[in-house]
Amino acid sequence: MIWQFRKTHKIVTITKKKVALYLMQFFNILVTMNRFEEALFNFDLAIVRNPENSIFYYNKAIALDKMDRPEEALENCDQAIQKNPENADYYHDKGEIQYYNFSADTLGQMNRFEEALQNYDSAIQKNPEESKYYNGKANTLNLMSRFEEALYYYDQAILNDPENSGFYFNKGIANYVEFISTYIKFYDQI
Closest CA to 114 of 140, 142, 149, 86: 140
169 vs 176: which has the higher pLDDT? 169
Instruction: Give percent above pLDDT 70 in the chain.
Output: 75
Sequence-distant (6+) residues with CB within 8 A of 24 are 46, 55, 56, 59
115 vs 141: which has the higher pLDDT? 141
Predicted local confidence at residue 38, as pLDDT: 86
pTM, entire model: 0.58
pLDDT band at residue 88 using 50, 70 and 90 as cut-offs:
confident
Predicted local confidence at residue 99, as pLDDT: 63
3 vs 78: which has the higher pLDDT? 78
CA distance 150 to 172: 11
Closest CA to 123 of 93, 153, 156: 93
Instruction: Give percent above pLDDT 90 in the chain.
Output: 17
Nearest-10 crossing angle of helices 16-32, 54-66: 10
| Helix segments in the chain, DSSP class H | 16-32, 36-49, 54-66, 70-83, 88-100, 112-126, 131-143, 147-160, 165-189
Output the CA–CA distances (angstroms, integers) from residue 139 to 17, 21, 79, 172, in the order listed.
36, 32, 25, 12
CA angle 171/176/178 to nearest 5° reads 95
Predicted local confidence at residue 27, as pLDDT: 73
pLDDT at 22 over 80: no
Complete domains list, the chain, with CATH: 1-72 (1.25.40.10)
